Structure formats: structure tokens, C-alpha cells
Amino acid sequence: MVQVRLDFKTEKPELPRDLDKLIVSFLKASLQNFSTELYEQLYGERKAVLKTFTYSLYLPGAKFLADKIVLKGNNFSLYFSDSDIGQLIQFINAFKLMRFKKYSMNRNSMELQKVYAEKKEEITDSEIIVKIQSSLVVRKHEAQDNSDVYYIYNHPDFCKTLKKNVEIFLEKLEIPLSTEGFSIVPIKGKKIVTDIFGRKTDANIGIYKLTGSPQLLNLLYQSGMGSRRSEGHGKFEVIW
């Protein structure tokens, strides 16, 4: 099991508040530069495609201001994983082609310096303790009026809705895994309000107990869980 670490250097020690837009645009640019076919497959103008990857960010000493994020230094890191190993290899090759190229962002720029492939231990237990690395978004979509309801860790429907999110993910991608026995229990949950493409949205961070088959837990470890995974949400680290 592999996770990819990308180390960036910034021209100025700051980043825009709408990081999801920035990183998604970087992912798109990386694919366009590497494979038009893969770009069209994932981001083409046809119907939205459910993706198998997720990412989280490490922002050293970050201070979140109203209009920007101020960093302690001119660097930050991105951790990327994908449950589709073939696709992950293509992303790694795409990232390598972006090294040392300035990528503009709001009177500033960032430059990818290094690309690391880090080995991760496979999950062999059916119960693990995890720390959320990029906020967990648990969403219930109301088809009747096309609205969304977002749940936080202490809501009685939190676990049931996350399980439904996972079931939809498996069903749409035709992955033959069962969610029987899947559950999430907050150990030290915390609500945050995150920006999702400019919209304030309730989300979750903290430490949780996950239960499920090792096969399912490994899939979620690589693809993330919940909603908005490919926009930097739902990535977790196993701490026990």
C-alpha cells in the first residue's frame, strides 16, 4: 500500500483560503500535462465521475486569516492516496512531470519540489483507531428538493449516514465489498466549519474507532471516506 507525498515551495509564505480550488486545479493541470485521456476520464465535461482518491495537507505553523492562510515558512506538503493502484501510478508520473514548474496562485506561486512514494502498512484488524487528517464530510442528499444535510459526530444519524455514503461509493464503482459490521464511534470528535468551494459546511475532525472488514477498511484508507473525498476530505491515519 502506497501513499504519495508532494513537497511544495511557495514564492510567499501564504496560501489562498480556498485551498480546495487550488489543489483540484493543480491535479487537473497535472493530468492535462500527462494524459488527456485520463484527464477526460476523471474531469471531462460529461457527468461527474466518482473518484477513488483523496488527499490531505500539512501546513506548518498555519494561521487562518479572513482572506488567506499564513505559513510559518515557504513550504507545505500534500499527502495523496488512491485505491486504484494503476491510476495511482499514473498520478505519480503526472506529478513528476510537474516538478520545478511554477504554478500561479493569486499574486503568488507554488512549485512542486519532491515526489515521494511512502509505504503504508496494510490493515489486518477489523477494529482500528484513526485520526482524521482531512475533515470528514458526512452528507445526506435529499433527492426530492436536491438539498444536502451535513452531520457532525454527535448527531444520532452520523454513523448511519456515513455507512450510507460508503455503500453508495461501493455500489457506483461496483466494488464487491460488504459494509456489514461497519461503524464509526467518536473517541475525541470535534466539529469544524470548512470551506467547500466557497460554501461553509459542517465537518468533523478528531479521533474515532472504525469497525469493519479489513478489506473495506483498507479501501477506505486509500480512497478516503464520506463525501468530497477527491476535494481533500475524509483522509485518515491509523494510530492504533
Q: Residue ranges of the domains in the chain?
A: 2-119, 127-238
Q: What is the pLDDT along the chain (240 residues), one digit of tens a residue?
A: 899 999 999 999 999 999 999 999 999 999 999 999 999 999 987 767 899 999 999 999 999 998 899 999 999 999 999 999 999 999 999 999 999 999 999 889 999 999 999 999 999 999 999 999 999 999 998 777 778 899 999 999 999 999 999 999 999 999 999 999 999 999 999 999 998 888 899 999 999 999 999 999 999 999 999 999 999 999 999 999
- d(Cα 139, Cα 199) in Å, to the nearest integer? 14
Question: Dihedral, CA atoms, 70, 71, 74, 77, nearest 10 degrees?
Answer: -120
Q: Reading across the β-sheet that carries 2-10, which strands appear in turn? A: 53-58, 75-82, 2-10, 109-119, 102-104
Summarised one tens digit per residue, pLDDT across range 113-152 is 999 999 999 999 999 999 999 999 999 987 777 788 999 9
Question: Do 127-238 and 2-119 fall under one CATH topology?
Answer: yes
Question: CATH says 127-238 is which class?
Answer: alpha beta
Is-contact 184 191, C-beta < 8 A? no
Domain 2-119 fold is Alpha-Beta Plaits (3.30.70)
Q: What is residue 178's three-state secondary structure?
A: coil
User: What Rg do the C-alpha atoms of the chain give, in angstroms?
Assistant: 18
